[in-house]
Amino acid sequence: MILAGGFWDASIGRLGRPADTRERVTANMHLYAVLPRVLDLARLDDAATGIARDMDVSIAFAVRGGPYVALDFKRGSGGARRTGLADVVLFFPSCRHLNRMFGGEKATPIPLWGLHRFRDLQRFTKLSDRLTQYLKPSDDDMADPCFRKRHVELSLLVGLAACREVADLDPRAQRVATALHDGTIQYSVGEEGPHVTAKVEHGTISVAPGRVPDPTTTIALRDLDFAVALIRGEVDTFAASGLGDIRLSGDLALADKFNHLFDRVGLYLK
């Protein structure tokens, strides 16, 4: 049985060395913030939609001493979960190993079982390659406005989802994390979007595409160009708020706390 909370999920508290903590936080981000975006991709990108439509499989990533995620593909719809069984299980001997693979280095998973679903694995590989292209785009890709918009949406979803891992695991963020109060923060880019909403409920952060009625906090980014710069970490957010490139309204205390978490995501995810 592959279940989170046991072998896979060694408590961060027991990881003394900063380097171990770093690998662990990064691994969590890869599995919980980056990987589930293949499901968003299936919504946004026609080629990905076509691939996902043919998939009826659950694929799990299990990291020794680290996180576990199972992605369910149900012929076009799906979801990610942190516990439970899967048809295919890919095993990583360490967080570092997983992170090296996500970093594009030569590191492959050990398939524990489910290899007979090799066709689904091939499809999954295609999806994840496409996701990589969106998250680490070339200049040519970014010249296409549709691509840019998807890049921004996927990157915002990754960044906000990664805030949860910062809040849960990053020792330097604990003071902010414990003070985090419930609410919804809606990020919008221009009039046309994309729009992405992060929700804090009982201290736990979740993200979803789209708007919500009456968000606690609204963070409106000027346009796609500005959003791209923000994602690349090139923006002084305080300056941008004063200049009107970022328009903040609603509960700014929540925005401020989130900003602290968001700032730290870039220390783990490049």
In sequence order, what are the residues at sequence separation of 6 or more whose Cβ sits closer than 8 angstroms to the Cβ of residue 62? 2, 8, 68, 89, 90, 91, 92, 112
Question: How many C-beta neighbours within 10 Å does residue 10 have?
Answer: 17
For other proteins, give the closer residue by CB, 39 or 163.
163
- The H or E element spanning position 112 is strand 110-113
- Both structure tokens of 140: 């040519």
CB of 260 to other proteins, least distance (A): 5
For other proteins, give the closer residue by CB, 29 or 41.
29
Residue 263 touches other proteins, criterion: CB under 8 A: yes
Tokens 């941008």 appear where? 240
- Both structure tokens of 157: 């979803």
Is 210 within 8 Å of 197 (Cβ atoms)? yes
Residue 249 touches other proteins, criterion: CB under 8 A: yes
Candidate residues 79, 233, 242, 266; the one interacting with other proteins per rule CB under 8 A: 242
CB of 224 to other proteins, least distance (A): 21
Identify residues 141-200 at the interface with other proteins (CB under 8 A).
171-176, 179, 183
Candidate residues 47, 108, 239, 266; the one interacting with other proteins per rule CB under 8 A: 239
For other proteins, give the closer residue by CB, 144 or 236.
236
CB of 234 to other proteins, least distance (A): 13
Considering only CA atoms, which of 117, 65, 132, 108 is closest in space to residue 86? 117
The secondary structure of residue 107, as a DSSP letter, is -
- Quote the radius of gyration of the chain (alpha carbons, Å): 18
In sequence order, what are the residues at sequence separation of 6 or more whose Cβ sits closer than 8 angstroms to the Cβ of residue 183? 199, 200, 215, 216, 217, 251, 254
Site track for other proteins across 207-236, x = CB under 8 A: -------xxxx------------------x
Identify residues 4-63 at the interface with other proteins (CB under 8 A).
none
For other proteins, give the closer residue by CB, 49 or 174.
174
CB of 53 to other proteins, least distance (A): 40
Residue 248 touches other proteins, criterion: CB under 8 A: yes
The residues of the shown chain that bind other proteins, judged by CB under 8 A, are 171-176, 179, 183, 214-217, 236-239, 241-244, 247-253, 256, 260-261, 263-264
